[in-house]
Each structure stands twice: as structure tokens, then as C-alpha cells.
């Protein structure tokens, strides 16, 4: 194959690329309240996607639907072209990992024991633990820089350390897709940045597809490759932050008058609210 033919082949491969996870024509309602109506969404592979929007717009509900924790009234969620509800739970748990908003650890559990619970999808009836399991747990703890905490009790850790342990548990599942529902909640600013740096590093070095729900807009714009901006159960805009964020869209979605300027550190869009009084 000539260099020209090889280049053409590569470009055709890119053009034919199909993202692994998507939802189409999704509808969801609670009693008489419509949450989603004919919602379509695609999660780009190997990107750090952040879902943002006002309170109550459906961010966490969308994430739960994509993880199979919340079933739409109609429509489809597909992973690799297969309807997600037709996939065996253990098989799905080897593809998608989730860190929900509120997680609690059993009393008196050590860090390494909690991380080891991420290996549940790989456990067999007559072979409970393997060298592969041990290696996965050790690698997850190394990636999140918590090896030195292995023998500590979860109850003894700070909030930032605990979040790293929970992420390590999800990483131990060895899933290519990670969902994080408001992972920075209750963390101080230093631990928020630390956690987001970790997520970006996992995405860039290990090529994890990461989807997170965040509230802080400037953090979302700094760290995300791809933004899903939600408003009243719909996708108001989606794409790279620098391509979709403007003072007009922020006003439309958040009813906030603001100036958009470049972040002086990394050049991403930065929201500067106007004084309201």
C-alpha cells in the first residue's frame, strides 16, 4: 500500500468512526411531569465530557439513563449498537463504571478492601480472586496515588482522599467508560481541582471515556473536551467549550448576564457574571 493510499485509508477510518454510547428519541416522565422529550445524545469516545445546566434540568437523570439505572419510558440507549437493557449486568459492568452522587462505605473497611470491590464483575463462583484481580486493584490505586493509604480505614480519610478511593474502586472495574455524578460536591477548591486534574490525566494518558456532571461552569470549560449544556430536559448546545459558549447561551440557559473572556491560564472560556445590583 502506498503512502497516499494508507493516508486515504486512515481518513476513511476516521470518517466511519462510530461512537460507542448513545441515546435516541428518549422520553421520560414522572406522573404528569415531562422530564425528557425525544432526547438524542451521543457520548464521544476517548473524550472528557461534562454535563452542565441549571438545577433540575435533568443532568443526573440523563447520566443515570445512560448507565441503565433509569429506564426511559420510550426510546433507546445503545452501547456498541446493542440496546443497553439487553446486555447482561456483569457484561455491562465490564464496560461502564459509575461513581454516583452519594456513596457510603461499610464501617471499618480498609481502603484496599473497598477498591477490591470494583472487581465484582470478574468474580466467578469457584475462583474468587486471581492475579489479574490483584494487579487491577494495585494499578487503580497507583493511578489515583493512594497506595500509601491501602491499610487505612475509610473513616480516617479526608473528603478528597475518599473521592480518590471511590474513583480507584471504579477504575478497578477496568471499564473503558467512566461516569461521575457530581464528583466534586462537598470538596474544597483545592481538592476539586486535584480531582479534575486526575480525571483529565486518566482521559489523556489512559484514553478513558469520562462523563461527569459538574455545577461549576469555569471548571467544566477548563477541563472538558466536550460539553453537553442542558436546559429544561433538552440539549441546548453541545461541543467543544470554545465552540459553543457565549454570553448569549449562558443568558438563555442560566438567565445570567455575563462577560465571556479567555481563561488567562489555559485559554478556555471563562464566565464573569455582571453584578446584579
Domain spans in the chain, listed from the N-terminal domain onward: 18-95+175-240, 110-173
Write the CA distances from 187 to 107, 115, 194, integer angstroms. Answer: 21, 20, 10
CA distance 250 to 257: 8
Cell numbers given for 95: 464496560
For residue 18, what pLDDT is reported? 64
For residue 31, what pLDDT is reported? 78
CA distance 266 to 268: 6
* Cβ atoms within 10 Å, residue 54: 15
Per-residue tens of pLDDT for the chain, all 277 residues: 444 444 433 443 444 456 899 999 999 988 778 889 899 999 999 999 999 999 989 999 999 999 999 999 999 999 999 999 999 999 999 999 999 988 888 889 999 999 999 999 888 777 778 889 999 999 999 989 999 999 999 999 988 899 999 999 999 999 999 999 999 988 899 989 999 999 999 999 989 999 999 999 999 999 999 999 999 889 999 999 999 999 999 999 999 999 999 999 999 999 999 977 6
What's the pTM?
0.87
Residues 49 and 210: beta-carbon distance below 8 Å: yes
CA distance 186 to 196: 14
Residues 35 and 63: beta-carbon distance below 8 Å: no
For residue 2, what pLDDT is reported? 47
Q: Which CATH superfamily is domain 18-95+175-240 in?
A: P-loop containing nucleotide triphosphate hydrolases (3.40.50.300)
Sheet containing 82-83: order of strands: 33-43, 21-30, 74-79, 82-83
CA distance 4 to 255: 51
Taking the alpha carbons of 259, 188, 99, 31 in that order, is the dihedral positive or negative? negative
CA distance 232 to 243: 22
Taking the alpha carbons of 142, 143, 149, 150 in that order, is the dihedral positive or negative? negative
For residue 277, what pLDDT is reported? 65
* Cβ atoms within 10 Å, residue 45: 14
CA distance 229 to 127: 45
For residue 12, what pLDDT is reported? 38
CA distance 99 to 182: 9
Q: Which of 249, 191, 181, 202 is nearest to 221 (CA)?
A: 249
Amino acid at each position: 500500500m502506498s503512502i497516499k493510499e494508507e493516508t486515504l485509508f486512515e481518513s476513511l477510518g476516521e470518517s466511519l468512526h462510530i461512537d460507542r454510547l448513545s441515546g435516541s428519541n428518549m422520553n421520560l416522565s414522572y406522573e404528569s411531569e415531562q422530564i425528557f422529550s425525544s432526547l438524542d445524545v451521543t457520548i464521544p469516545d476517548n473524550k472528557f465530557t461534562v454535563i452542565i445546566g441549571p438545577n433540575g434540568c435533568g443532568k443526573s437523570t440523563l447520566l443515570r439513563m445512560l448507565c441503565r439505572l433509569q429506564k426511559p419510558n420510550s426510546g433507546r440507549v445503545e452501547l456498541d449498537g446493542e440496546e443497553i437493557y439487553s446486555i447482561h449486568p456483569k457484561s455491562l459492568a465490564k464496560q461502564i463504571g459509575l461513581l454516583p452522587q452519594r456513596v457510603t462505605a461499610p464501617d471499618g473497611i480498609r481502603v484496599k478492601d473497598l477498591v477490591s470491590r470494583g472487581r465484582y464483575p470478574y468474580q466467578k463462583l469457584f475462583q474468587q480472586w486471581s492475579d489479574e484481580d490483584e494487579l487491577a486493584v494495585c494499578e487503580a490505586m497507583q493511578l489515583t496515588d493512594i497506595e500509601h493509604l491501602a491499610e487505612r480505614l475509610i473513616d480516617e480519610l479526608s473528603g478528597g482522599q475518599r473521592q480518590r478511593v471511590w474513583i480507584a474502586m471504579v477504575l478497578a472495574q477496568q471499564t473503558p467508560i467512566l461516569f461521575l455524578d457530581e464528583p466534586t460536591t462537598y470538596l474544597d477548591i483545592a481538592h476539586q481541582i486535584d480531582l479534575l486534574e486526575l480525571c483529565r490525566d486518566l482521559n489523556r494518558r489512559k484514553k478513558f471515556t469520562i462523563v461527569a456532571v459538574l455545577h461549576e461552569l469555569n471548571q467544566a470549560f477548563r477541563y472538558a473536551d466536550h460539553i453537553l449544556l442542558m436546559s429544561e430536559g433538552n440539549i441546548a448546545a453541545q461541543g467543544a467549550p470554545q465552540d459553543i459558549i457565549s454570553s448569549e447561551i449562558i443568558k438563555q440557559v442560566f438567565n445570567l448576564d455575563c462577560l465571556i473572556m479567555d481563561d488567562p491560564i489555559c485559554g478556555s472560556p471563562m464566565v464573569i457574571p455582571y453584578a446584579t445590583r
